[in-house]
A and B are shown apart, each in its own frame.
Chain A
Amino acid sequence: GAGVSQTPSNKVTEKGKYVELRCDPISGHTALYWYRQSLGQGPEFLIYFQGTGAADDSGLPNDRFFAVRPEGSVSTLKIQRTERGDSAVYLCASSLTGPDEQYFGPGTRLTVT
């Protein structure tokens, strides 16, 4: 079946602009995660959804970052007033339920100039 999909694959934006990154999880997966990966490092957790609600947003670095999952499927990660330090690959993962194995999408490479 289809895996996790993410759009866009690449996003270049200017400092201060607003961006939205989209994730479409594996069909039937109730849990959805966002991670961020900088070059040479492992992914870092941002936020976890179980269904429509954010079960854990402790990894969001500040209030410029926000994510939604209004219908319990597709999720959008929103970044306001982007900064150069936000440049990274943003990864989305999903699992059948919370405790299960997580499968990653291809990621969105965000570059803030």
Chain B
Amino acid sequence: QKEVEQNSGPLSVPEGAIASLNCTYSDRGSQSFFWYRQYSGKSPELIMSIYSNGDKEDGRFTAQLNKASQYVSLLIRDSQPSDSATYLCAVKGNAGNMLTFGGGTRLMVKP
């Protein structure tokens, strides 16, 4: 079982819709959670971090964390074609500072 799981997609949404990306993790002691966006051929770009249960909003992005369910999600409101990318969920566990990544979810926003 992978430590961080994401649906590989593609997730296709129409322009202007809400895109919902999900991630589960196995290490119950994990403390920090991150969402990275990766365009094709580029490196991961940090877009959100979340450390405590609940919602965290930044512009069109909302990260949600539920430690009891070991679940973290990213909502993108008013999706734009420029949001089309692979979204990587990353988790920092209790031991060490390295990130463990999921395989990423490919998002396609259609005009």
Contact = CB atoms under 8 A, between A and B. Distances in A.
Q: Do A and B bind each other?
A: yes
Interface stretch (B38-46, B57-65, B68-76): B38-46
Contacts, number: 59
Contacts of B42: 106
Interface string B82-111: 000000101010001111111110000000
Contacts of B43: 89, 91, 104-107
A81 B70 CA distance: 41
A111 to B, nearest CB: 14
Given A42-B88, A104-B43, A31 B97 contact: yes
B98 A45 contact: yes
B80 interface: no
Given A45-B98, A59-B98, 20 more contacts: A31-B97, A33-B97, A40-B103, A42-B90, A42-B103, A42-B104, A45-B100, A48-B97, A50-B97, A55-B96, A55-B97, A58-B96, A89-B43, A99-B32, A99-B97, A102-B46, A104-B43, A104-B45, A104-B46, A107-B43
Interface of A: 31, 33, 35, 40-45, 48, 50, 55-56, 58-59, 89, 91, 95, 98-99, 101-107
27 contacts: A33-B98, A41-B103, A41-B104, A42-B4, A42-B88, A42-B101, A42-B103, A42-B104, A43-B99, A43-B101, A44-B101, A45-B98, A55-B96, A55-B97, A56-B96, A59-B98, A95-B97, A98-B97, A99-B32, A99-B92, A99-B97, A101-B34, A101-B49, A102-B46, A103-B46, A104-B44, A106-B42
